[in-house]
Amino acid sequence: MFKHILLPSDGSPLSEAAMRKGIQFAKTINARVTGFCVGPELRHFGFDADIGPEFKKQAAAAVQAEVAKNLLAIEKAAKEAGVPCETAQEKSDQPYEAIIAAAQKGQCDLIIMASHGRRGVQGLLLGSETQKVLTHSKIPVLVYR
């Protein structure tokens, strides 16, 4: 029924749990998965502040390391389960847009994600990315709780 599942992850414990369940689900229905992680777009504004090219480089490297870590965790879990896995990443200020775009681009027919991620309860109050994905996605979304 579902052939290709997008697993967006922000590296939070809840999103990690959802990712593992998603892989388990993919295994059950013989689907393949694409792990996806969105990093923030870095813009530095400073007036008379000490933001040099070195700092920018360090910040970008830190973000990249975090994203790579999340994607590696997905790849590892998928490999353990024997589920075919690809990964993708994007830089965006609006993770939900990037998630939906990635699902469309990869022609995924299901998105599995946690009910809320890194921002936790605060995210619930402000409207988590999952809520926004649910609102805007035309692709089915399975919310893991």
Partner 1 sequence: MSGFKIYEEVRMFKHILLSTHGSSLSHVAIQKGVQLAKTIKTKITGISVIPEQEYYLY
Report the interface residues with partner 1, using CB under 8 A. 1-2, 21, 23-25, 27-29, 80-82, 140
Closer Cβ to partner 1, 20 or 116, answer by number: 20
Quote the least distance from Cβ 83 to partner 1, whole Å: 8
CB of 102 to partner 1, least distance (A): 22
Q: What's the order of all strands across the beta sheet hosting 110-114? A: 85-91, 32-39, 4-8, 110-114, 141-144
108 and 101 Cβ atoms separated by less than 8 Å: no
Tell me whether residue 29 or residue 125 sits nearer to partner 1 (CB atom).
29
Give the separation between CA 143 and CA 145, rounded to whole angstroms: 7
In this structure, the number of other CB atoms found within 10 A of the CB of residue 142 comes to: 14
Least distance from C-beta 79 to partner 1, angstroms? 8
